[in-house]
Chains A and B, each alone.
Chain A
Amino acid sequence: MEALVARQLTRVYTGRGKTVRALDSVDLSIEKGRLFAFLGRNGAGKTTFIKVAATLLMPTSGSVTLLGRDVVSEAARVREEIAVVPQEGRPFFHLTPREHIYEYLRVRGFASETARDRTDELVRAMGLTPFADTIAQMLSGGLQQRTLVAMILATEAPFLFLDEPTLGMDPFARRQVWQVVRRTVRRGSTVLLTTHYLDEAEQLSEELAVIEDGRLLYRGTAAALKSTLHREIRLEFGPGLQAKELEPFGRVYAERTHLVLLTSRSNVRPLTELALERGSEVTMGPVTLEEAFLELVGRPIEEEEGSA
């Protein structure tokens, strides 16, 4: 069963003589109980999609139904079923993490016992125990973000929108959040996540979509997206080789002082021998989701120039 269905969803921003088409006829569906990642550059339309689907913003045209209800005409009913981690949100400066979680649950209508149990559980699971009774003003940015995410995940709402939930968190904290998100999905919630950390999208999501200039470019699994490269190996060469020598073997681009080549498995041996001959160090690994993403949406200009 589908938890979210967007049909021909379009959102146009107008103002000061400018018109920006943030979403352009987007069709997307997300199955119930899935963890779905939305990827795209800054300004690609991810947050606009979340805002429309989460009843925060009106669409210009098209429709979104969430858990069978229209987000425009049945917004109040939809809001009973959702919770949102807003992008770059910040908690109340005078409340502690424990108070944030508990009070938000109480405001949403949870009984005090349930709210207390969930608060204790989330404080523990999100690694907030040492800071649980410190006011947010005294916490680092990463801990404040963890507090905000904990508030939302504690609701275990049937549909959760997480807009860049791990922004500013250290790698340990990110993994703690991943664990709680996975557990929330196991308990029955559907999650729509946006992130710029592609490892996070790969680790967490069962399915993902890539959006660019308001249009959906791709929808499928991370593995399937990587397979669209038709090159499964990533070789990184130190100084000693020229880009034009590597170009016949695959896609080449510069990364600082190194050259990166995306190539097929059969080219590994001859290229490694060539690198050894030139005294150039070489490292090898599988292509990453980031490579596939960059290939799909187009590389930044400076990298294109670097490979020339």
Chain B
Amino acid sequence: MSARQQAYAALRICWFNGILPLWRTPLLVAAVFLTPFSFLFFLFVITAPTNPALLPFGVMGGILFSALFTGNGMLNDCAYLRLERQLQTIFVASPVRPLTYLLGMALSELAFTLPALAMFLGILDLVHPYGPATLGVLLGVVVLTWLMASTLGFLISTFFHQLREIWPIGTLVFSTLSILPPIFYPAGVIPARLQWAAFLVPSTFAGQLADHALGLTFGPALSPSVLNSPWLDLAGLAGATLLFGGLALRLARWRDP
């Protein structure tokens, strides 16, 4: 199969594994939307009366949470199709390349998340209006975050033999990526001597980059000062995306060892 046919195959996988089920079971969108919206709701209840400046951070957190949790969806769906339905087998034993399958599955997860992303972007525009250039940057951050999370989800999914082992792993990994680091809240609220530690979690770069694009600041500048550079955030996010993508293509068990 040519590269063009592989790209088309990825789109078809997205069509029948992402868009068709969404069309037939719209309730799936609600499931994807519910968790980040719950966080946002609590943040709104807690912060809005006393500190409304925190609200845009929370909405941006909802956007990044949605993008990051495509990784959890990827992990669970890939594991389910491989272990419970044996369907990954029929793609392995075919001209479909691992990258094609990975991309097709990742696009499926994105399809599930798109309505939630659109809604959060709309809410963000209401609480913190932004222009087209900022929207472009935000979409770039979302795409990199989605790719990073999806490749990580795919990689992990290939190492397990039981679905019940995977569920807690997914929750652990993707909650660590999306709840602990400064995604829903500004990095400035972390004690100064621990701020560098937040950057050990790659999703921090996504959160910081988005905050820079939106011009969101809260509290004193981060310490050390290099942590305030958007270029560091871009390099960190792109680097993590490339790293997880490379690891997924190199280490994921397309064929069992």
Task: Verify if A28 is at the interface (C-beta below 8 Å from B).
Answer: no
Task: Verify if A161 is at the interface (C-beta below 8 Å from B).
Answer: yes
For A152, the chain B residues whose CB sits under 8 A away are: 90
How far, in Å, is A113 (CB) from chain B's closest CB?
15
Contact A79–B86 (Cβ < 8 Å): no
Task: Verify if A200 is at the interface (C-beta below 8 Å from B).
Answer: no
Q: Bound complex: CA of A82 vs CA of B96, how far in Å?
A: 11
Interface size class of B (residues with CB under 8 A): 20 to 34
Task: Verify if B122 is at the interface (C-beta below 8 Å from A).
Answer: no
Most B Cβ at <10 Å: residue of A76, A103, A152: A103
Known: A88-B86, A109-B5. A58 touches B255 (CB 8 A): yes
For B24, the chain A residues whose CB sits under 8 A away are: 94, 135
How far, in Å, is B163 (CB) from chain A's closest CB?
14
Contact B255–A89 (Cβ < 8 Å): no
Contact A75–B90 (Cβ < 8 Å): no
Contact A57–B16 (Cβ < 8 Å): no
Q: Bound complex: CA of A109 vs CA of B1, how far in Å?
A: 7
Task: Verify if B20 is at the interface (C-beta below 8 Å from A).
Answer: yes
Task: Verify if A23 is at the interface (C-beta below 8 Å from B).
Answer: no
Task: Verify if A55 is at the interface (C-beta below 8 Å from B).
Answer: yes
Q: Bound complex: CA of A288 vs CA of B10, how far in Å?
A: 48
Contact B96–A84 (Cβ < 8 Å): no
Q: Bound complex: CA of A57 vs CA of B257, how far in Å?
A: 6
Task: Verify if B194 is at the interface (C-beta below 8 Å from A).
Answer: no
Contact B96–A108 (Cβ < 8 Å): yes
Within 8 A of B (CB), among A52-94: 54-58, 75-76, 79-80, 82-92, 94
Task: Verify if B17 is at the interface (C-beta below 8 Å from A).
Answer: yes
Contact B12–A106 (Cβ < 8 Å): yes
Contact with A along B102-144 (1 / 0, CB 8 A): 0010000000000000000000000000000000000000000
Task: Verify if A198 is at the interface (C-beta below 8 Å from B).
Answer: no
Contact A95–B90 (Cβ < 8 Å): no
Contact with B along A101-134 (1 / 0, CB 8 A): 0011011110000000000000000000000000
Contact A57–B256 (Cβ < 8 Å): yes
Q: Bound complex: CA of A155 vs CA of B5, how far in Å?
A: 16
Contact A58–B256 (Cβ < 8 Å): yes
Task: Verify if B97 is at the interface (C-beta below 8 Å from A).
Answer: yes
Within 8 A of B (CB), among A160-196: 161
Contact B20–A94 (Cβ < 8 Å): yes
Which of A83, A90, A103 is close to B84, meaning CB atoms less than 8 Å apart? A90
Contact B257–A58 (Cβ < 8 Å): yes
Specify the chain A residue showing the minimal Cβ separation from B6: A109
Contact with B along A37-64 (1 / 0, CB 8 A): 0000000000000010011111000000
Most B Cβ at <10 Å: residue of A51, A109, A161: A109
For B50, the chain A residues whose CB sits under 8 A away are: none
Which of B1, B17, B89, B94 is close to A89, meaning CB atoms less than 8 Å apart? B89
Contact A161–B93 (Cβ < 8 Å): yes
Besides A82-B94, A99-B20, 12 more A-B contacts (Cβ < 8 Å) are A55-B92, A56-B92, A79-B96, A82-B93, A89-B87, A92-B87, A103-B12, A108-B94, A109-B5, A109-B9, A135-B24, A148-B90
5 shortest interchain CB distances as A-B pairs: A89-B86, A86-B86, A84-B93, A86-B89, A94-B21
